[in-house]
A and B are shown apart, each in its own frame.
Chain A
Amino acid sequence: MTEVSASAARRGLRLRGLAENAALVAAVIAFLAPLVWLYSTAYKPAREIFQIPPALAFTPTLENFRVLLELYDLPSLVSSSLGISLGTTAVALLVGVPGGYALARSRWKHATTLAYALLAIRMMPRVVTLMPFYLMMRDVGLLGTIWAVVLTNATLSAGFVVWMMFSYFRALPPEAEYAAQIDGRTAFGAFLFVAVPLVVPGIVASALFSIMLSWNDFLTPVFLTGVDSKPLSVALLSAYGTKDVSWGTMGALAHFATLPIVLIALVLNRYFIQGLTRGMH
């Protein structure tokens, strides 16, 4: 009797596991299918991208990539995108990590509020800040360079970094830093050489978020960059003309606009989890 119910329970568990796996696989397919379609347009002749009724079969071609390389300065686009996202991240970490540390170690009662306030900078609609920022960048001569984008994007990222590192450092007992100071390190030395190495996963996680957000950003660079500093996210829309949508070219360009960040996410995704798990609790 008990044996029967035990095996039934086991079978139930196994069935549940199977159902869970099936649900996961279904979710993965649902979330990836639209992208697969976009990438596939890059290998289709223009006439076969849409068919009536829609069909899956097509004659593969690399023509779209040829057109892409002929019309776009791809190395410049990729380097602008990388420059913007890495630059934003560097600036955000440079000011954000010390800020997060200081707020975490502070006994000031409004430290938490300040950390949240910095995070809340995201709430400001870009449209408003862009124009004054544009004029500011013009006056310092940075307009049309990736630095204009880096400086404004990094305000958002820095807020996020401060907030995340704040949670991180707060979870870290300060004793090790005291010990280091006894051993002759300055307070700054203790921060840089003792505290920071202990929170590397958090730093990597917030860096990844920052890279992703600025890599995908469209509105800021479309406004602030020039011909030599245009990133991929903006170029993606350039492929979209009014007289005709060059879907194939866009699909080809999308490879370069999304795959790098996808690869980073795939390779480093455990940092997201690790960083977030410890960052919040």
Chain B
Amino acid sequence: MQKNRRALISPFLLAASALIVAGPLSAASAAEVTLNIASMNDPFGAAMTKLAPKVEAATGVAIKVDIMSYGELMTKTSADFIGDTGSYDIVTMDNVLTGQYATAGQVIDLKPWIEQDAAELDLDDVYPVVMNSLGGYGEMQVAFPFSGYANVLVYRTDLFEAAGLSAPTTMQELQAAAEKITDREKGQYGWVANGQKGPAVAQDWMQYNAQLGGSILDAEGKPAINSDANVESLTVYKAFFDKAAPPGAVDYDWGGREQAFRQGVAATMQTWSVGAAGYGDPAQSNVVDKFAVIKAPTGEGVEPKYGIGGWGLSINEDIAEDRQAAAWTVIKYLAGKEGQKELALLGAGGFVRKSTLADPELNAKYPFLPIIAESFEKGDGDYRPRIPEYPEIQDILGTAVNAVLAGDADPKAALDDAQARAEDLF
């Protein structure tokens, strides 16, 4: 009996200890420095992982990419910064966190290094609006632009044709088309966006809000959440949900929304350009050859500006100087012309350079690149306020907008409440 018990447990323990010993060994590499990159689980995460050998060949620095979900990335990196532990050398920074990164002083200001290597970086090749929105904050540059996204509209060409509609250029056209295409009996819906409480609904609504002429902050940079324009845009956003969105959309985050479009449930969707490649992939999508990517529509009478988002690369202040230098070398490669093209070929989906968007090989692979280029030319990277208090503002909005969509509050009351909460932050 005793023997039996031991016989049962010991192979398991043996296997366990073998794995524990083998774990660290397998991570060894030939390069002198191995940098840890905290990466968001966007397509660039996988692309960077695949590109690691080329990065090492080009820079002599090995990289280890830790791919994380958004919440995990935020928690891990903030904890790393606050604890001064230097676990991650390079951090992918969501552009909305620029303000927080800049004021908390936990990453390096890249400005001096950028100036020093300006020629090598060919700064004129980087879209100015991207350079600014993905890491620029006042005089500082807390991240170097790495994966820029433009807000675009994707729509189902087959459904629009069948309904005798042309591609929408204004919000009003989009709304009319979405409602016309919606046929609940057939399970066909005209439109989809994020409705889930929290960052998901906050970010999508802010996009529509900007396109409809609203703004989260006033001219002095203070919250103006309950402005008339914002209340109006939220009313429109709710109408979209009530009249044209799949019923489950109130609980959709990005994954659910993208799934709905790829499944063919929804006929239109505003989305980051990064997702566009997936709709044409037969392994993932039901709508291959039935969709088109166009510039995002704007409200009538509103000057067209296209939402810019995406990720920059930051260097942790807590790491040793030689590691910081190595990290800068890696960033120069990843954000440089060669690295950008390699990443694009691997499906990273984000762009920062004019040369990459103009590349013939890439254009043959991704026909929607000119749309992104045009959007970058007239881009707006500040429709989501890149201030230090952004995370809390986003949470407040995420709660308010979701309450309206759920039918528990009217737009005016919800935004009044949000305004009061936001004012508390300052």
Quote the shortest CB–CB distance from B349 to chain A (angstroms): 9
Q: How far is the CA of A234 from the CA of B79 in the complex (A)?
A: 16
Q: List 21 A-B contacts (CB under 8 A).
A: A47-B284, A47-B286, A52-B265, A75-B23, A78-B19, A82-B20, A134-B79, A135-B83, A143-B85, A222-B75, A226-B85, A227-B36, A237-B69, A237-B71, A237-B72, A242-B70, A242-B200, A242-B253, A243-B42, A243-B258, A244-B254
Contact: A238 with B72, CB < 8 Å?
Answer: yes
Q: How far is the CA of A86 from the CA of B43 in the complex (A)?
A: 35
Tell whether B111 is near chain A: CB-to-CB under 8 Å: no
Residues of B within 8 A of A144 (CB): 85, 87
Tell whether A71 is near chain B: CB-to-CB under 8 Å: yes
Most chain B CB within a 10 A radius of its CB, from A135, A226, A243? A243
**A47-59, CB under 8 A of B: which get 1 and which 0?**
1001110000000
On whether A76 and B255 interact (CB within 8 A), knowing A47-B286, A267-B8, the answer reads: no
Q: Give the contacts of B245-269 with A (CB-CB under 8 A).
A: 253-256, 258-259, 262-265
Contact: B20 with A134, CB < 8 Å?
Answer: no
Residues of B within 8 A of A242 (CB): 40-42, 69-70, 200, 253-255
Contact: B46 with A71, CB < 8 Å?
Answer: yes
Most chain A CB within a 10 A radius of its CB, from B50, B69, B70? B69
The interface of chain B, by Cβ under 8 A from chain A, is 5, 8, 12-13, 16, 19-20, 22-24, 26-27, 36, 38, 40-43, 45-46, 49-50, 64, 66-72, 75-76, 79-80, 83-85, 87-88, 187, 200, 253-256, 258-259, 262-265, 272, 274-275, 278, 282-286
Most chain A CB within a 10 A radius of its CB, from B49, B88, B283? B283
Residues of A within 8 A of B264 (CB): 52
Quote the shortest CB–CB distance from A27 to chain B (angstroms): 27
Q: How far is the CA of A70 from the CA of B67 in the complex (A)?
A: 12
Contact: A238 with B84, CB < 8 Å?
Answer: no
Residues of B within 8 A of A76 (CB): 23-24, 26-27
Q: How far is the CA of A264 from the CA of B8 in the complex (A)?
A: 10
Q: How far is the CA of A45 from the CA of B285 in the complex (A)?
A: 10
Residues of B within 8 A of A226 (CB): 36, 80, 85, 87
Contact: B285 with A243, CB < 8 Å?
Answer: no
Closest residue on chain B to residue A76 by CB atoms:
B23
Q: How far is the CA of A79 from the CA of B84 in the complex (A)?
A: 26
Contact: B253 with A50, CB < 8 Å?
Answer: no
Tell whether A73 is near chain B: CB-to-CB under 8 Å: yes
Closest residue on chain A to residue B284 by CB atoms:
A46
Tell whether A20 is near chain B: CB-to-CB under 8 Å: no
Tell whether A150 is near chain B: CB-to-CB under 8 Å: no
Contact: B46 with A244, CB < 8 Å?
Answer: no
Contact: A244 with B286, CB < 8 Å?
Answer: no
**A219-259, CB under 8 A of B: which get 1 and which 0?**
00011001110100010011111111100000000000000
Closest residue on chain A to residue B259 by CB atoms:
A50
The interface of chain A, by Cβ under 8 A from chain B, is 45-47, 50-52, 67, 70-73, 75-76, 78-80, 82-83, 86, 134-135, 138, 143-144, 200, 204, 222-223, 226-228, 230, 234, 237-245, 264, 267-268
Q: How far is the CA of A78 from the CA of B72 in the complex (A)?
A: 19
The 7 closest A-B pairs by CB, nearest first: A245-B255, A79-B23, A241-B41, A79-B19, A226-B87, A46-B284, A227-B66
Contact: B187 with A138, CB < 8 Å?
Answer: no
Quote the shortest CB–CB distance from B138 to chain A (angstroms): 28
Quote the shortest CB–CB distance from A211 to chain B (angstroms): 10
Quote the shortest CB–CB distance from B324 to chain A (angstroms): 18
Q: How far is the CA of A243 from the CA of B70 in the complex (A)?
A: 10
Residues of A within 8 A of B19 (CB): 75, 78-79, 82
Residues of B within 8 A of A83 (CB): 20
Residues of A within 8 A of B285 (CB): 47
Q: How far is the CA of A82 from the CA of B68 in the complex (A)?
A: 20
Closest residue on chain B to residue A218 by CB atoms:
B72
Residues of B within 8 A of A222 (CB): 72, 75-76
Contact: B49 with A79, CB < 8 Å?
Answer: no
Closest residue on chain B to residue A268 by CB atoms:
B8
Q: How far is the CA of A240 from the CA of B23 in the complex (A)?
A: 24
Contact: A227 with B88, CB < 8 Å?
Answer: yes
Q: How far is the CA of A272 from the CA of B191 in the complex (A)?
A: 52
Contact: A240 with B255, CB < 8 Å?
Answer: yes
Residue in B26, B45, B253 whose beta carbon sits within 8 Å of that of A75 in the complex: B26
Residues of B within 8 A of A75 (CB): 19, 22-23, 26
Q: How far is the CA of A189 from the CA of B284 in the complex (A)?
A: 65
Most chain B CB within a 10 A radius of its CB, from A72, A76, A268? A76
Q: How far is the CA of A106 from the CA of B227 in the complex (A)?
A: 69
Quote the shortest CB–CB distance from A147 to chain B (angstroms): 12
Residues of B within 8 A of A238 (CB): 41, 67-69, 72
On whether A230 and B87 interact (CB within 8 A), knowing A244-B255, A245-B255, the answer reads: no
Residues of A within 8 A of B41 (CB): 238-242
Residues of B within 8 A of A80 (CB): 23
On whether A227 and B87 interact (CB within 8 A), knowing A79-B20, A237-B72, A242-B253, the answer reads: yes
Closest residue on chain B to residue A224 by CB atoms:
B79
On whether A241 and B83 interact (CB within 8 A), knowing A70-B50, A73-B26, A79-B23, the answer reads: no
